[in-house]
Amino acid sequence: MEELDGEPTVTLIPGVNSKKNQMCFDWGPGEMLVCETSFNKKEKSEMVPSCPFIYIIRKDVDVYSQILRKLFNESHGIFLGLQRIDEELTGKSRKSQLVRVSKNYRSVIRACMEEMHQVAIAAKDPANGRQFSSQVSILSAMELIWNLCEILFIEVAPAGPLLLHLLDWVRLHVCEVDSLSADVLGSENPSKHDSFWNLVTILVLQGRLDEARQMLSKEADASPASAGICRIMGDLMRTMPILSPGNTQTLTELELKWQHWHEECERYLQDSTFATSPHLESLLKIMLGDEAALLEQKELLSNWYHFLVTRLLYSNPTVKPIDLHYYAQSSLDLFLGGESSPEPLDNILLAAFEFDIHQVIKECSIALSNWWFVAHLTDLLDHCKLLQSHNLYFGSNMREFLLLEYASGLFAHPSLWQLGVDYFDYCPELGRVSLELHIERIPLNTEQKALKVLRVCEQRQMTEQVRSICKILAMKAVRNNRLGSALSWSIRAKDAAFATLVSDRFLRDYCERGCFSDLDLIDNLGPAMMLSDRLTFLGKYREFHRMYGEKRFADAASLLLSLMTSRIAPRSFWMTLLTDALPLLEQKQVIFSAEQTYELMRCLEDLTSRRPVHGESDTEQLQDDDIETTKVEMLRLSLARNLARAIIREGSLEGS
């Protein structure tokens, strides 16, 4: 097992003194409950905890941010699109698609960063403003890292175009120059503005030489004495060889032209052409790649990677990717100068320049507050076939491990769990079992949410989870006395025991109220009524009432008798069935035959004699009161009368 790189972060809980009192805690999928206990070894007299609260410590608090939720939602669609990229695509077509996906991810990060920036500006509470500003810094760092990884690992830019990409990278992320330019150009006399030379210097440092020439032309117009040397500097800027995207010249041709141009700049420096203008001479030294001159502009460069790209632009514009790590490390050392140690962001960028993908992912996992960044970046790099050889010691590969962690965090949120389902789907080894474990823990607060969860489980043939959810919903429905819903859920769960329980409740309600509720459901049970004997009886008993209502007395009588003789009816309901037979016994036309009447008589005698029927325990005993006695007497009288009529009728039929 790998060792930790350092001590884990300590989370302080306000009001809790863990050194003085013992703590108890309980782990959950995405959070932990912590509280003090009254047990104390040192001070046995003190039995009351000093902090009587239970704290919930969440692992992924970012999922509760409204703005970051947009990041999660938007990137979800990009992730799904990436999984569907045709594996058969190769070469430039596949690479262009992967680059487009990467740019889409970055555009989502930038949109969230800009929105977060606006919220930070509008925040009335200073604490909230600082929190939002901190998030802006984190999002900015995320895009900075992602953009560099895109250049180095996805674009895989060769020597020449590599520097152009790095220049665009710096220009995108060091953007103070635009506001400074607007400030200077907006003044009455730009060349006399306090920040004029700072602006020109920054433009040169970023390789924006056309804009720097335009600024120098304003200096030449305002100061005729320096017009000549401004023109010379402008010509040097104009003639600097740069490999443009549409240019067909080879690297060798570019290097020769650049060497010639560099020698020309050297001559101007040796001839002291710009000695009368310290600003222009400083610009010339920068264009010669003089490290001392570059380091003098630390404040304008603002960070070491800006220094790195400027240094490469003016000293080795055709730098090869394999040499980047040397320049990156030396630039970091030169820029920091031993005055400070590298920040986590510096270590991540340095690892990227060293083409150490796994170190980049590792450092990002430690530095960032959630798994979104590393999960999506790793997935993209895996599609670029850059992580195929790296498997973790516990069986899953790095991509799957990070996606599982990210999806687990989404399941801690009341609605984002739906995004997490898709991430689990694309984890072939452990995704399904993780989904099963997490989906069982989703609180089913509403039936609408329960239906969403159920749909997810049914689409993935998660039979046990479907059954469990249906049982939970059936129990809730029973507690709320919604018997129709409870029966529907128990049928969907294929739970015979619970269907029997709900059917008993239906029958009890019928006995109390004299009518059925949820007739549409009972009338349309279909094959589902075979789930349990009691449910079958409920459906058949309702069918008996329908036949009786349609005046199909003979069919109704046969069905009623079969319910009694097959012992499918609960013993407690026999008296109700016999009572239902009374109107049929009193019809003018003989409905029950003599044999059927004998069967009814036997059932009545079985009931009144309180004997167990076919081994069934006689738990429901008849109440020996006047009403029951009256019912029994009426039934015996009706049965005797019907028997006499049936014998006479059957005898006369035989005689004829």
pLDDT for 400 beyond 80 = yes
Considering the domain architecture, whether residues 543 and 570 belong to the same structural domain is answered as no
Considering the domain architecture, whether residues 569 and 513 belong to the same structural domain is answered as no
pLDDT in tens, 133-148: 888 999 999 999 999 9
Domain ends where: 501, 519, 550?
550
Name the residue among 112, 21, 128 with its Cα closest to residue 71: 112
Name the residue among 132, 138, 145, 209 with its Cα closest to residue 172: 145
pLDDT in tens, 204-245: 999 999 999 999 998 888 888 888 899 999 999 999 988 776
pLDDT in tens, 346-358: 999 999 999 999 9
Considering the domain architecture, whether residues 529 and 577 belong to the same structural domain is answered as no
Report the range of poorest mean pLDDT among 30-34, 388-392, 502-506, 569-573. 388-392
Reported for 485-491, long-range contacts at CB under 8 A and 24+ positions apart, including other chains, are 487/518, 487/521, 487/535, 488/521, 490/531, 491/525, 491/528, 491/531, 491/535
pLDDT for 586 beyond 80 = no
How many other C-beta atoms are found inside a 10 Å radius of the C-beta of residue 112?
24
Considering the domain architecture, whether residues 310 and 173 belong to the same structural domain is answered as yes
Considering the domain architecture, whether residues 178 and 294 belong to the same structural domain is answered as yes
pLDDT of residue 619: 43
In a domain, 604, yes or no: yes
pLDDT in tens, 590-617: 777 788 778 778 888 777 776 444 444 4
pLDDT for 465 beyond 80 = yes
pLDDT in tens, 152-162: 999 988 888 89
| Per-residue three-class SS string for 374-441 | HHHHHHHHHHCCCCCCCECCCCCEHHHHHHHHHHHHHCCCCCCHHHHHHHHHCCCCCHHHHHHHHHCC
In a domain, 289, yes or no: yes
Query: What is the average pLDDT value for the chain, to the nearest integer?
Result: 82
Report the range of poorest mean pLDDT among 146-150, 418-422, 516-520. 516-520
Domain hosting 26: range is: 22-59
75, 102 contact by CB (below 8 A) = no
Reported for 546-552, long-range contacts at CB under 8 A and 24+ positions apart, including other chains, are 548/580, 548/583, 548/584
pLDDT for 27 beyond 60 = no
pLDDT in tens, 117-138: 898 888 888 888 888 888 899 9
Considering the domain architecture, whether residues 275 and 227 belong to the same structural domain is answered as yes
Considering the domain architecture, whether residues 534 and 509 belong to the same structural domain is answered as yes
The share of the chain scoring above pLDDT 70, in percent, equals: 82
Considering the domain architecture, whether residues 529 and 451 belong to the same structural domain is answered as yes
Q: How many domains does the chain have?
A: 4
In a domain, 95, yes or no: no
pLDDT of residue 148: 95
Name the residue among 361, 174, 334, 339 with its Cα closest to residue 347: 361
Domain ends where: 267, 284, 319?
319
- Residue 102 pLDDT class (50, 70, 90 cuts): very high
Report the range of poorest mean pLDDT among 6-15, 202-211, 217-226, 433-442. 6-15
pLDDT in tens, 37-80: 766 555 554 555 555 666 666 555 555 677 888 899 999 999 99
Considering the domain architecture, whether residues 597 and 650 belong to the same structural domain is answered as yes
Domain ends where: 502, 521, 550?
550
In a domain, 149, yes or no: no
CA angle 640, 643, 645 (to 5 degrees): 110
In a domain, 330, yes or no: no
Considering the domain architecture, whether residues 188 and 313 belong to the same structural domain is answered as yes
Considering the domain architecture, whether residues 225 and 311 belong to the same structural domain is answered as yes
In a domain, 160, yes or no: no
In a domain, 432, yes or no: no
Considering the domain architecture, whether residues 486 and 596 belong to the same structural domain is answered as no
pLDDT for 309 beyond 60 = yes
pLDDT of residue 93: 82
pLDDT of residue 168: 92
In a domain, 240, yes or no: yes
pLDDT for 94 beyond 90 = no
CA distance 170 to 305: 8
Measured CA distances, 591 to 202, 545, 550, 597, 656 (Å): 107, 16, 15, 10, 20
Collapsing DSSP to helix, strand or coil, 354 comes out as coil
